[in-house]
Structures are given as structure tokens and as C-alpha cells.
A and B are shown apart, each in its own frame.
Chain A
Amino acid sequence: MNDIMAQLKENVIQGRITQDDEGIDDTLTGPGVVELTRMALDSKIPVKQIIADGLTAGMEIVGQKFNAKEYYVPDMLASAEAVSEAMDILKPHLEGSGVASRGKFAIVTVKGDIHDIGKNIVAILLKGAGYEVDDLGIDVPTEKIVEYVREQKPDFLGLSALLTTTMLVMGEIIEALSAVGLRGSVKVLIGGAAVSEEFAREIGADTYCADGFEAVRVLDSYRAE
């Protein structure tokens, strides 16, 4: 049983989605993340443990390697995709497993901005970390975002903008949320090439995240509070 968990973690680090996948270093053979997740379920390993000791433990190492510039974007995406596939397999078993929902995270590229790559990477990493992720898309008008927050009540709202022109919209969104009394109901995170910690403070966002891994750390720290 520990063997399956160790293999699962190692295969997440290698971004090996299935047994046919060569993985990042082309060193592993045998079952990949999808097969190992099924084997773990068959061996009656608790879902909570599969997620914590296999998937999350593996992604943590991936995050470290990415930050150390040992891993690049395609490596990180392969691992995140592997975890995402594993989560789909585990989904029917989550109820009654003692795995608390990590909360709902909505992410959106603001009005006037059509850049979606950064947003998509953040979404896939948070999904891999066990959050319920709602991707609202790109170039989304502020009113629609406010409406969404009112109706769907996400715990977290991630705003993305790449341009110096569109980053200003982030401030407008926060103002609009405040104006209708919704600002207190949701933590607002911002990210994108043009923005910074300082800009987050300026517009009254809760925080700035440099990348998807930081978003995971920040959300986890909010849950710990």
C-alpha cells in the first residue's frame, strides 16, 4: 500500500498520465498516475490519503522544481494534467471520504483582455490542488462578474490581466463588488504580467500571486486561518 502511494507521488512528479507515457525523464515504466489511482482505490486506500500522500505530495515537489527553474511550463502542465485526471477518477468516491471541499475558486480574464494562457495554467493547478474551479472565460464584462459573485457565491475570485491598460479594470471590479456589498463575501486574488503586490494593495485586492503555485499556497493559507 505504501508502495502504491510512493509510486503515485513519483509518477505525478514525472507527469506520467498513463502507463504509455514516457514521463519527463523517460526513466519510469509500469502504471502511470491514472492506473495507480485506480489501483489505490482497489486496494481500499482512503481517498483522503491518495490525495494527500500521492497527488498533493507530488505536486508540491513539482512546484519546488518549477520555482527552482528545474521544471518548465510543459513539465508543470503535464503533472497538473495527471493530477486533474486522477481527481476525476476520485470524484465519485469523495463523498463521505472525509475530504472537505477546499472551496470554490472562480477565475476570469477581465474586460478588454483576451489573454487566457496564464489564467488556464492557474485554473489547472488549483483544480489539481482539489479546489472546485469555475473558469468564467476572457474579456468578461464587470457586471457579469458581479452577477456571478452574487449568484454563485465563490469563496475566491481570481482576476487576470496581461496589459497595462486592462489591469485598471481589476480596480473597477473591486469597486463594483464593494458598491453592491459583495466585497466582503469573497477573497480577491490578482495575477498577470502587468500587476504587482503594490498594485494589489492600491486597488484593494486581497493579494497578488506571481504564478499558479503561489495561488495554491495562498488559498491553502486562507483555509488554515
Chain B
Amino acid sequence: MIIVGEKINASIKSVGQALQNKDEEFLINLAKDQADAGADFIDVNAGTGEGPWENAAAAMEWLIQRVQTATDTPLCIDSDDPSVLQAALSRYNGETVMINSVDAEPKRLDAIGPIAAERQALLVALVMKEGGIPRTVEERLEAADIIATRLSAMGVREEQLYFDPLVLPISVDTSQCLVTLKTIEQIKARYPSAKTIMGLSNISFGLPNRGIVNRSFFLMAAAAGLDAAIMNPLDSRLMSFVKVADMLSNRDPMCRGFIRAHRKGLLNE
């Protein structure tokens, strides 16, 4: 399982505040902690550039530079604005990079696809068209098809794609979790070289005991073929489930990763 650490996001209050105050230490620690906890990528969202920044691109450039002083872990650049993405990439020294995100809207694909192609970036693609999150597997697959076809024409390889099957809160519509899981299965069948990715916590919005729901959903998604999770790597219970999921879905030969995690005292019941 590929872990994308979600904590450096300007829409989280403390992070937004740190950005406005240019609180380097807070942000550097947040990057370091996530890397130490086992994040494979660190998501970086610098918001709209409110406060001392000239614009969103300036805030992003500053943030990318600071995070890179803390860790060599690859970054996942979180913006739907091509100029912000370009600015971030101009400051990024690493080789592997992920862009978060595009969807099936042609305008956005045409703006961000070429950037991903040129930089050979991994690209998160939400399987939705204009008009919001489709409620059926078929409509989500149609969106995936538009994305794959259009990006391929721009030189983005299938291996670069990380499809997000989309998750709706189970509290609002109990039929939707299965739609998400079936979408994962179908995408894996249709695009064997592409990967699937999603955020875990949206599933439990509006419910009590959210941790149990998130962890259980994560295991079901892993069984359906999920390759990557956007999540909080500092959540030790959830991280324990990552080890379990890898093992149970035949991604941990001889259970070595699981037992190693146990010996290090990383597994939290």
C-alpha cells in the first residue's frame, strides 16, 4: 500500500495559520513526522495564498522549499491550478512526484495533462465529469475512460495514472460504499498498469466512532484492489491496518513486513 500523508493542507486550520505566519518549524515538523511514520508521499496543499503571499503560487513555492529541507520523501503537489503546479515543480528537486489532481473535465485535462507528461509525474485522476460525483459504477468508468484516452493522447502513460474511485459519506447514502469498491475492481481490470488511490476519512463523515469505520473500509478497499491511500500516517491504528492489509492481500511475502512491524512495536491493536 502506498501511503500519501495528508496533513500539510491549508484547509486544516493549524496548517492554514502556520502558512499565514510563515511558521517554518511547524510545517517542517509536520513533514518530518509523516515521513518518519512511513509516508511514501507527502501531500502539499498551500491553499489560496491568503495572508502575506503575493498569490497561491508564491505560497506553494515557499512551502515546497521548506518541506524539502525536512525530508527526501517524494511530494504530492495538491492543486488544480496549472500555474501553481508549474511553480511548485520549478522548486522541486526530487525525481518522483505526484500531482493531485485532475478529473474528466476536458478543460482541466488539457491544462494539467501536458504538465504531467513533460515531468513524467504520477497523476491523481478523480473519476467524475462536470456535474459532480456520479452515483453509479458505469458513469464513473465512463469518466475513467475519458481521462485515460485524453491523457494518453498527450503522452501520459497508463503507469502514471492514479484513479480516485471517489468516496461518499456512508451516513448520507448507504448504497455508495459498494459503488466505490466495485469501481476500484473495474478500474483495476480495465487499466492493469494504472493504480487506484483514495482518501479514507470521507467515508465516516457524520458518524460516531469514525476510526473503526475508516479502518474497516480501508481493509475492504484493499481487498478490492486499492493501491494507495491518502491518509494520516500519524494514526498508528490505521497504520497497523496498512501492514495487515498488505499481508492479507498478498503484498507481504512470508508476512515479513507484518512481523517486522510487530518487532518494532509499531502494531497497535
Judge whether B132 and A139 touch: CB under 8 Å: yes
Judge whether B11 and A73 touch: CB under 8 Å: no
B11 touches which of A114, A137, A138, A193 (Cβ 8 Å): A193
A213 CB, min distance to chain B CBs, angstroms: 14
Judge whether A114 and B132 touch: CB under 8 Å: yes
Q: Is the interface of A mostly helix, strand, loop or mixed?
A: loop
Judge whether B11 and A163 touch: CB under 8 Å: yes
| Complex Cα–Cα for A43 and B259 (A) | 70
| Complex Cα–Cα for A69 and B207 (A) | 10
| Complex Cα–Cα for A39 and B132 (A) | 40
CB-defined interface of B162-191 with A at 8 Å, one 1/0 digit per residue?
000000110110000000000000000000
Q: A139-B130, A139-B131 in contact; A164/B208 too (CB < 8 A)?
A: no
Q: How many B residues, CB 8 Å from partner? A: 22
Residue A179 CB within 8 A of the other chain: no
| Complex Cα–Cα for A142 and B206 (A) | 30
Judge whether B10 and A164 touch: CB under 8 Å: yes
Q: A114-B132, A164-B16 in contact; A72/B206 too (CB < 8 A)?
A: yes
A-B contact count (CB 8 A): 50
Judge whether A117 and B168 touch: CB under 8 Å: yes
Judge whether A72 and B208 touch: CB under 8 Å: yes
Residue B205 CB within 8 A of the other chain: yes
Return the chain A residue nearest B168 by Cβ. A117
Residue A116 CB within 8 A of the other chain: yes
Residue B71 CB within 8 A of the other chain: no
Judge whether A73 and B132 touch: CB under 8 Å: no
| Complex Cα–Cα for A77 and B171 (A) | 9
Q: A72-B208, A73-B207 in contact; A114/B133 too (CB < 8 A)?
A: yes
